[in-house]
Structure 1
Amino acid sequence: MTAMTAFSVASDAVLDSADDLEAQLRAIGATRYHNLHPFHHLLHGGKLNKGQVQAWALNRYYYQSSIPLKDAVVISRFRDRATRIEWRHRIEDHDGDVGSEGGIERWLQLTSGLGLDNDYVESAEGILPATRFAVDAYIHFVRDRSPLEAIASSLTELFAPNLHEERISGMLEHYDFINPGVMTYFKRRLEQAPRDANFALDYVKANAKTPAERQAVCNALIFKTNVLWVQLDALYHAYVEGHVPPGAFVPAQS
């Protein structure tokens, strides 16, 4: 069998049915999801100092705060009202609503709890260039590719709950500057992510009707794993190996 490349599933991958598609998607997650990245092993294992954790939370905020923009673009791709109705709760999950906080506010509780100024975090002035490039590429992907691929790119949510559980337990155990009150974002996603992932999985299985369409679905998921992976590559290079680019956040504690 031809090997999977950095950007696409193997050309001879078996994708003759919806079940074949699901098996291939789960194989992609098992080998390419960013829970496997060395930076996450350091983060969850208590091997980072506070400044390095601050850098991770600061950069990740740009991704979190861009998710509603991405989801608004996804909604704009669909004439089908039922799909728009199903998808729009994702925006509320992150933006919140009148009288209720969303994921962005919960993430700011984390960055604030780590000692970062909210105005600085929200400005995104201190993030790594690679963070901005990767996240913006994700928004462009869902705008420019097919609606099927736009939905497929969200399927990393299939693998998120295990990562969130590992993050909650690992960070609470290993860091005395982390407390349960700043980890509410991850606790809430334990409920939201499976709901979102199940809809997206059912959608692509029902609507990717040919091997070519199933291959496009797989490649969209690979693209998304790359978006997540490269952000951690940048964090590792800057804050573990010490190559912080000019103008990016420099922790007070190194």
Structure 2
Amino acid sequence: MSAYSISATVPLDNAAQLEETLRHIGATRYHSLHPFHKLLHGGKLNKGQVQAWALNRYYYQSTIPIKDAVVISRFRDRATRQEWRHRIEDHDGDTGAEGGIERWRKLTEGLGLDSAYVESTEGILPATRFAVEAYVHFVRDRTPLEAIASSLTELFAPNLHEERISGMLKYYDFVNPDIMSYFSRRLTQAPRDAGFALDYVKQHATTPAERRAVCNALIFKTNVLWVQLDALYHAYVDGHVPPGAFVPAK
């Protein structure tokens, strides 16, 4: 594999080989492996560094329903649009129902960040904005099959959420179960979403070339997630905060 694609020698002659390759990509490239997450979940960050992570991640979370609306727009098939639509409701919420964005805002508030500042996204890192916007452009510009395939990081999310919940509650006295509700809710939502997407690509990627495109779409998405943590590490662990970005209180 390269940083952007799987090797041409990887066999992708059927759906079983496709799934095997997708799971290998997750096992070797998912951002659970990033050093920043090891620090976060192991209690090695200070409150300001955790705030920086939550602030930057808010931009990703708040953009997901925009991304999903773009995915829906790619499909003439009504059944696919209906299936995908609940993802927007999961994040945006509905009348009288709290969504993922609200739960993430609860996390940032619980960490002591001003909600207006968080929602303005003025303090996020440039790399965060570039990576998230690249994701929206990807689902807009690539094939509908690749757009769905890029969501397959959800296959690997539940284990990460479990690790995050247990680690952060154990090590940080400024974290409590209430502000971690985003992650507990995703323990049931992510497997449902990932199951549909996996079944979809296995059914609709019918040639080795299409299966390769599916795998490379997942690699692209792992890069979107990974580079955001690279930027956080560089800024808030190594101490190279770019001009205008969030600076934690001393």
* TM-score where L is the length of structure 2: 1.00
Cα distance, 1:219 vs structure 2: 0.1
Deviations 1:121-140 (A, max 9, x none): 00000000000000000000
Q: Which residue of 1 aligns with 2:48?
A: 51
The equivalent residue for 1:67 is 64
Equivalent residue for 1:193, pick from 160, 165, 190: 190
Amino acid at match of 1:25: L
Question: Offset at 1:34?
Answer: 0.1
Give the SS at the match of 1:69.
helix
**Aligned with residue 246 of structure 1, among 236, 243, 246:** 243
Structure 2 residue aligned with 1:176: 173
Residue 187 of structure 1: CA displacement? 0.2
Matches of 1:118 and 1:78, distance apart in 2: 35
The runs of 5 or more residues in structure 1 that have no matched partner are: none
1:205 deviates by 0.1
Q: Distance in 1 between matches of 2:215 and 2:156?
A: 15
Name the aligned partner's letter for residue 178 of structure 2. Answer: G
Separation in 1 of the partners of 2:55 and 2:170? 21
Q: For residues 73 and 105 of structure 2, what CA distance do their matches in structure 1 show? A: 28
Measured after TM superposition, the shift of residue 190 of structure 1 is 0.1
* Displacement of 1:177: 0.3
Query: Following TM superposition, by how much is the alpha carbon of 1:199 offset from its aligned partner in structure 2, in angstroms?
Result: 0.1
AA aligned opposite 1:208: A
1:159 alignment counterpart: 156
> Percent of aligned pairs with the same residue?
82
* CA deviation vs aligned residue, 1:73-96 (integer Å, no higher than 9, x gap): 000000000000000000000000
Alignment length, in residue pairs? 250
Q: Distance in 2 between matches of 1:172 and 1:143?
A: 38
Residue 93 (structure 2) aligns with: 96
1:120 to 110, 117, 120: 117
Query: Mapping of 1:205-224 within 5 angstroms?
Result: 205-224=202-221
Distance 1:92 1:118 in 2: 21
User: Offset of 1:70 from its aligned partner?
Assistant: 0.2
Tell me if 1:25 matches 2:22: yes
Q: CA–CA distance in 2 between the matches of 1:206 and 1:15?
A: 13
Q: Deviations over 1:36-78 (max 9, x none)?
A: 0000000000000000000000000000000000000000000
1: CA distance, partners of 2:40 / 2:8: 35
Instruction: Tell me which of 126, 142, 147 is aligned to 2:144.
Output: 147
Aligned to 1:60, what secondary structure does the other structure show?
Answer: helix
Q: Which amino acid aligns with 1:90?
A: R
Partner amino acid, structure 2, of 1:171? M
Displacement over 6 Å in runs of 4+: none
Alpha-carbon distance in structure 2 between the residues aligned to 1:13 and 1:65: 36
**Residue in structure 2 matched with residue 230 of structure 1 by the alignment:** 227
CA offsets, 1:124-182, max 9 Å, x none?
A: 00000000000000000000000000000000000000000000000000000000110
Cα distance between partner residues in 1 of 2:31 and 2:116: 28
Q: Distance between the aligned counterparts of 1:169 and 1:30, measured in 2?
A: 21
